[in-house]
Structure 1
Amino acid sequence: MADTTSQKPHCIVCKQDNATVPLLTLTFQDNQFAICPQHLPILIHNPQMLVGILPGAENLKEADHGDQ
């Protein structure tokens, strides 16, 4: 699912491209991915929701805010 130079970057969650929404680029396991600001909180707070979308997401931990 990594974006390549032949593919237009798109959000890994909603598939919108940078003509529609701003995209943030992230690098994970030597691959580049893009995510839109609307879905960035999923990456931070609920990365388990990205299992099957982002390779290796099953190993990510949600943010620890120390408020529990």
Structure 2
Amino acid sequence: MTEQNEKNCLNCNRTDEQVPLLHLTFKNETKYICPQCLPVLIHKIHLIADKLPGVEIAPDAAH
């Protein structure tokens, strides 16, 4: 987040003035993500791992 009160999607950086944001916490830090970027958090977390220092990235499951 760029300011204390400003809420931005951690992936696309849009604000809560532009899109709805979902609140999440990670390592006692508040983060926000918009519904459009939620699949990135779920399925492609490696793309935003730099914005979540310390996140564990699970290896792809064998199908």
What corresponds to 1:24 in structure 2? 22
**Cα distance per residue 1:21-62 (max 9 Å; x no partner):** 0100111111110000111001111111112122223x1337
- TM-score, scaled to structure 1: 0.75
Q: 1:56 to 1:20 in 2, by over 3 A?
A: same
TM-score normalised over the length of structure 2: 0.80
What one-letter code is carried by the residue in structure 1 that aligns with 2:29?
Answer: N
Sequence identity of aligned pairs in percent? Answer: 35
Count of matched residue pairs: 63
What are structure 2's unaligned runs of at least 5 residues?
Answer: none
CA RMSD of superposed structures (Å) = 2.5
